[in-house]
Amino acid sequence: MRISEIYKRKKTVVSFEVFPPKKTDAPDQSVYETFERICALSPDFVSVTCGAGGTGAGGNKTIELSALIKSKYGVEPMAHLTCIAAKKSDIKSAANEMKARGIENVLALRGDIPDGFDKDAPRDYTYAKELIADINREGFCTAGAAYPEGHIDCIDDEENIEYLKQKQDAGAAFFTTQLCFSNEHFYRFLDLAAKRGIKSPISAGIMPMMGRSQIERMIFMCGASLPSKMIKLLNKYGENADDLLKAGLEYSKEQIDGLLSYGASGIHIYTMNRPQVAEFLAEGLL
């Protein structure tokens, strides 16, 4: 099913993000138990990441896991696909493979610039909007990434919204945001987007804090700001992983409640492949 149809039907769309098993050899049974537990919650869709660092066009693992989520667990998948290091022919092959495996929904991304990338060399794709247009033409229901606090390389708020509008114009039927720990930023972003004529629904990306190093890595990688409440929680519970996860989940739950009251079209939970995260945060939503 095209995910855009789900947004038309439901007031709030609830989705999870997972990543494919890292091992190159056959993954063990526990990996599949993870996906089984996550899918058993019957989310509206599950999105499957592709290799970080812009290393290529999706990759078989993303497509394989997306196909499995659909065929074995009966949940609608969305495959992530990056383009910065891809040729048009790579994207065409990925599109053909996804069609053959019954995948209808794609999150079309530029991907991060790989180390040593030659910015002056000729390339087929520069921005995600070009991939969004190509994937849309291939007949997929196409989504784009959105940034409540701006992309790490984009300082200007107006430019941030303008690029979002370009993605919508290129065919993005809905958006999923980068993690954001501050609902005030979410609300401001949703208002700015609406004012600029963004009509495609926007799902808010929620990631619970699971450790001090995870948070430090995230804020430097993506430029998300840390509200003082989170800093205090990190100071209080930072030494105890279980207590911190519990406090992080409670914090995320409050964020979700606020977003629902504000009328967000969707909640997208970064599960980090931890079923207990999905189970706790989805309680009462699905």
Binding site for ligand FAD (CB under 6 A): 49-50, 52, 54, 80, 82, 107, 109-112, 127-128, 145, 151, 153-154, 163, 166, 176, 178, 205
| Backbone angles phi and psi of 112, in degrees to 5 | -75, 150
Confirm whether 17 is a catalytic residue. Answer: yes
Catalytic hit among 17, 76, 104, 149: 17
Residue (128 or 244) nearer to ligand FAD, CB: 128
Shortest reach from residue 86's CB to ligand FAD, in Å: 11
Residue (15 or 34) nearer to ligand FAD, CB: 15
**What are residue 16's DSSP bridge partners?**
46, 269
User: Alpha-carbon distance 108 to 78, whole Å?
Assistant: 10
Shortest reach from residue 155's CB to ligand FAD, in Å: 9
233 contacts: CB under 8 Å, gap ≥ 6? 209, 244, 247, 248, 251
Residue (145 or 233) nearer to ligand FAD, CB: 145
Look at residues 54, 47, 56, 52 and name the one whose alpha carbon lies nearest to residue 89.
56
5 contacts: CB under 8 Å, gap ≥ 6? none
Residue (127 or 187) nearer to ligand FAD, CB: 127
Q: Are 218 and 224 in contact (CB under 8 A)?
A: yes
Shortest reach from residue 213's CB to ligand FAD, in Å: 20
Pairing of strands 105-109, 174-179: unpaired
Q: Which residues are catalytic?
A: 17
